Structure 1
Amino acid sequence: MKLVIVVCGLLMLGGCATGGQSNPPWLAMSGSCAKLSSEQELSLNLADDMAKEGKLHASLANLQNLPERSAQVQLRKARIYRQLGRSEAEPLYRGLLGGCLAAEGEHGLGQLAAGRGDNALATTYLERASRLAPTDAKIRNDMGVVYLNQRRVDEARFEFLTALELKQDDSLAALNLVTLLIYQDQWKQAAELVTRAGLTPEQVSDAQSRAQELKTQAKTASNQVAAIK
């Protein structure tokens, strides 16, 4: 099972417009933190349930009945558009920056950037997200993934362990940590974690494939450096 983390994004921009300059389009989409009504909350929960069941289009249709400027609604829409690979995700995530769901906005932009393979930009967004929400296990896990993609192994291990301690049943963080351990040829520790986390043989196989991919990338990068010298 590979981590699919998709991406995009740029700068957080706050403050007033200056004379003669127009606000960037995404600023007009800034989400409102006003509380939804009980009926609207029920609709939001229904949309969440549909998304969990993989009914992304149906979930989006339900969200379109809710206040467009609500930060909670914008976040749900952004997540669905990201999973569908639609460009609408980026401005929606940006519209959350500086508000009550700023951490989620930074996180989403980091996921978009990582999905494009821009690990440097993803790192910037995810580190900001982590500072805003340091106990969010999903953010810590995704930071670990981006660090591992850059072969910043010690930092990746720290983030995966943090995610696991924050949410002990997080099989995704466990799977990523197993990938890291296999990458480092620490097979005994990897086996112990597989047993402890109850990972399936298919998941272990995916971890091995990902670890091998990282090793190949590292070897290629090393060869390129040697060739330059």
Structure 2
Amino acid sequence: MVLLAGCAGGFGRTNAASPNTPEELESTDKSMHVDLIRKMLDQEQYYAALAHIQQQQRSSGNSDELRYLEAEARRQLGEDAAAEKLYRELLRGRLAGDAYHGLGLLYAPRNLATSIQYLREAAARAPTDARVRNDLGYALLRAGRYAEAMPELSTAVELDPANDKARNNLVLLLMVTRDEEGVQRVIDQAGIAPETVARLRSDAQALQARAAGSGVRK
């Protein structure tokens, strides 16, 4: 994708910004390889991503970015201990926000309270990251902390209106809190498909039943 974008300007134009030293060429190659790894993670090709991470580590050494990408791949593969170790190695560096986000996702299935603490740390470091605000809002929703979840999910939707996950989670929260006027407003504005609305209704009922059974305070 990077190569195609570079060719789009035509053959007749000189690109003064093109790398012309070995160091610049190596830096460009690393950047392209990292972009490839990120694309593999987005496409859920976690084993392939790990193979390319290992190749990059072997050819040019490790880096915080590669450690983070490796942690993401291992988390998705269920290698929790290895992923947590990698995330924790990044907590004092420039990728601390990403590492706290990863830890929050790592702990979400097994310790929701700890997950929320890590996600709050991530949101404090990246308040305009819609993904982080959405994940924090959803964790708070699952914990039955609806009043706290509302601003997080609303912020996520406003930061990234095209984020279907954040929008659906906001609708889910509105359903759980029985704000039908709000539910309909979001459905109309976003044009949410009927089958998606039906699935969210089912999820909301399950959350309400779980909250009622555990005595969760709204």
Structure 1 residue 70 displacement after superposition: 0.9
Separation in 1, partners of 2:192, 2:153: 15
Q: Structure 2 stretches of 5 or more lacking a match?
A: 1-25
Aligned length: 188
Separation in 2, partners of 1:200, 1:71: 41
Secondary structure of the residue aligned to 1:168 is coil
Q: Structure 1 stretches of 5 or more lacking a match?
A: 1-35
Partner of 1:147: 140
Q: Relative contact order (alpha carbons < 8 A, sep ≥ 6): 1 or 2 greater?
A: 1
1:50-199 alignment, distance < 5 Å: 50-67=40-57, 69-87=62-80, 88-116=82-110, 118-199=111-192
> Which structure shows the higher helix fraction?
2
Deviations 1:57-95 (A, max 9, x none): 112211111235311111111111111211221111111
Deviations 1:121-150 (A, max 9, x none): 111111111111111111111110111112
Tell me how large the CA RMSD over aligned residues is: 1.9
Partner of 1:33: none
Secondary structure of the residue aligned to 2:108 is helix
Does 1:40 pair with 2:22? no
Deviates more, 1:196-205 or 1:79-88: 196-205
Separation in 2, partners of 1:156, 1:115: 18
Does 1:210 pair with 2:203? yes
Report the AA paired with residue 92 of structure 2: G
Change (3 A) 1:79 1:203: farther
Structure 1 residue 97 displacement after superposition: 0.3
Secondary structure of the residue aligned to 2:55 is coil
Secondary structure of the residue aligned to 1:37 is helix
Separation in 2, partners of 1:136, 1:66: 27
User: Which portions of structure 1, spanning 4 or more consecutive aligned residues, are displaced by more than 6 angstroms?
Assistant: none
Secondary structure of the residue aligned to 2:115 is helix
Change (3 A) 1:133 1:221: same
User: In the alignment, is the contact (CA less than 8 A) between 1:169 and 1:197 conserved in 2?
Assistant: no
| TM-score in terms of structure 2 length | 0.80
